Amino acid sequence: MNAGRKRSFCKEQALDKAMHVFWENGYAGTSVAHLTSALGINKPSLYAAFGNKEQLFATAMEHYMDEYAAQIVDRLTNPPDAPLKERLNSYLSGIIEMICDRESPKGCMFVKSSCESGSIAIPDEIRSSLKDMGLASETALSKLFEAEKLRGQLPEDTQVQVITGYLLSVTYGMTVLAGRGQTKEELKAVAEMAVNLLPGIG
């Protein structure tokens, strides 16, 4: 019996656990003690594996975007031959499934973190990173709508920046409502109405 053998440490699993802690509590509401407890390691091991709390949050957010957000965003363009309305409904449905998933904290980690970013408790580097991510999402949506105008899926006089802001407002609002206990069915009704109100789509 090897009593002195160290417990194996899977960095990928630890990162996923850290992501869920930040997702649940936010950056300011998460302490190093919360993280070490959830990951089952001590502070030196945490710092050795991920750096400080700020660095771990940044890595956890990237992990979240890769594991959760990217798959949902992909629905906006796939299948490419599907009508825009169908893809938008699929996109919003994916968001609803995620923010209401009982296996994960309610809401969207990115949206929750963005809402928190105005706090003085959030480091400037994280605030800047979240802002860049938000701008990237906005740009991606704008490019999508511009492309759909060229394909004839949207009227020529569509104000792309307006409907981009509208859709982002809907997605941000839904994650807040999910945190307040709104059900999937209630949010799906909101999403359906939101898509139907878009010019040239409903």
Q: pLDDT at position 4, please?
A: 45
Q: pLDDT at position 200, please?
A: 81
Question: Residue holding tokens 């969207």?
Answer: 108
Q: pLDDT at position 79, please?
A: 94
Q: pLDDT at position 1, please?
A: 42
Beta carbons within 8 Å of 186's beta carbon, 6+ residues apart: 177
- Domains of the chain plus CATH, in order, are 53-196 (1.10.357.10)
Residue 155: Cβ-neighbour burial (10 angstroms; 0-12, 13-18, 19+): exposed
Asked if 84 and 148 count as a contact pair (C-beta separation under 8 A), the reply is yes
**Tens-digit pLDDT string for the chain (202 aa):** 444 444 456 899 999 999 999 999 999 999 999 999 999 999 999 999 999 999 999 999 999 999 989 999 999 999 999 999 999 999 999 999 999 998 999 899 999 999 999 888 899 999 999 999 999 999 989 999 999 999 988 999 999 999 999 999 999 999 999 989 999 999 999 999 999 998 887 5
Q: Rounded to an integer, what distance in angstroms lies between the CA atom of residue 179 and that of residue 167?
A: 19
Tell me, yes or no, if the pTM score tops 0.85.
yes
Q: pLDDT at position 202, please?
A: 56
